[in-house]
């Protein structure tokens, strides 16, 4: 289902279906403007990937929130936003100067409902096609402490999943994932499904997984961001974002260290071992 802000203002009722695409701007005028552009889309989903497009859209001076995506599979809550509350939705921001869309996925519920995850990926892929996206990237986190990566001695900051028709050269400190070097492992949920659908529509598609020491390691997001810039050939100064992610990771680690010290004193256990399947 599709609806626009203009339609809502003239009296059309607002409804939420399995997935509802809501345009904040004039859809026809926007599509006419960008019809000859070769755009790039970067998408991130919970729990970690969405951090990257969120900070990118904050960095882009001309970024504009053009589309919201609603779903009745998102959490049944209303969230505070500035001075008002809003129904949960994902966001698409666009920078005309950079020809770059940032998709910020904020809600994980659909990822645990296979039909909904597939449907959202399908809708986003078709929307990307309509928005003249030539290259699509999803971003997430991978743990090299898992098999088979622990056997690799290379200095790698991100692994890249290539999808049908994708053929870019692999930059330094980045490694292409193949069946030979990852075995039976997979890129899960929408981080893998979205580029899979997009590639079937003729969009050059990749999944970039930054290397982390643990599932919430924000340094992995910094690595994925650097890999995205190299692969997409986008010249953006992101040093401040990377430093912020590094400092946040160090703060988290210090908090964990103190928790472990207190737990050891009391004879308790803290935390869980890294997941052995969550790539994405």
Radius of gyration of the chain (CA): 20
Residues 6 or more apart whose CB falls under 8 angstroms from that of 87 comprise: 16, 70, 78
Residue-level pLDDT, tens digit, the chain, 280 residues: 777 766 655 456 789 999 999 999 999 999 999 999 999 999 999 989 999 999 999 999 999 999 999 999 998 989 898 899 999 999 999 999 999 999 999 987 666 788 889 999 999 999 999 999 999 999 999 886 655 555 555 688 999 999 999 999 999 999 998 887 766 568 889 999 999 999 999 999 999 999 988 888 999 999 999 999 999 999 999 999 999 999 998 988 888 888 877 766 555 544 444 444 444 5
Angle between helices 218-232 and 239-266 (to 10 degrees): 160
**Residue 270 confidence (pLDDT):** 44
Task: Please choose, from the candidates 274, 278, 147, 150, the residue with its C-alpha nearest in 3D space to the C-alpha of residue 214.
Answer: 274
DSSP E strands, 83-184: 84-86, 90-95, 100-104, 133-142, 158-162, 174-176
For the entire predicted model, the pTM comes to 0.87
Q: Does residue 144 contact residue 150 with C-beta atoms inside 8 Å?
A: yes
User: Domain locations in the chain?
Assistant: 2-236
Q: Which CATH number applies to 2-236: 3.30.1180.10, 3.40.50.10900, 3.40.630.10, 3.40.190.10?
A: 3.40.50.10900
274 bridge partner residues: none
The helix/strand/coil state of 226 is helix
**Residue 154 confidence (pLDDT):** 64
């Amino acid at each position: 289902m599709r609806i626009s802000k203009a339609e809502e203002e003239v009296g059309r009722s607002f409804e939420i279906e399995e997935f509802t695409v809501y345009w904040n701007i004039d859809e026809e005028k926007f599509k006419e403007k960008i019809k000859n552009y070769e755009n790039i889309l970067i998408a991130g989903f919970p729990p970690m990937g969405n951090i990257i497009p969120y900070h990118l859209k904050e960095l882009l001076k001309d970024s504009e929130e053009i589309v919201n995506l609603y779903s009745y599979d998102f959490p049944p809550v209303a969230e505070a936003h500035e001075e008002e509350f809003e129904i949960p939705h994902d966001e698409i921001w666009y920078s005309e100067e950079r020809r770059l869309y940032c998709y910020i996925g904020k809600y994980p519920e659909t990822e645990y409902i296979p039909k909904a995850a597939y449907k959202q990926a399908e809708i986003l892929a078709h929307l990307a096609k309509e928005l003249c996206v030539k290259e699509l990237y999803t971003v997430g986190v991978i743990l090299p402490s898992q098999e088979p990566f622990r056997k690799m001695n290379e200095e790698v900051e991100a692994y890249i999943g290539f999808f049908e028709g994708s053929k870019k050269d692999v930059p330094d400190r980045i490694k292409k994932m193949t069946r030979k070097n990852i075995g039976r492992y997979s890129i899960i949920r929408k981080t893998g499904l979205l580029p899979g659908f997009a590639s079937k529509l003729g969009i050059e598609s990749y999944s970039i997984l930054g290397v982390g020491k643990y599932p919430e390691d924000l340094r992995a997001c910094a690595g994925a961001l650097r890999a995205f810039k190299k692969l997409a050939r986008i010249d953006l100064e992101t040093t401040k974002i990377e430093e912020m992610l590094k400092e946040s990771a160090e703060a988290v680690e210090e908090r964990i260290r103190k928790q472990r010290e207190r737990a050891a004193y009391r004879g308790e256990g803290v935390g869980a071992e890294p997941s052995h399947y969550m790539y994405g």
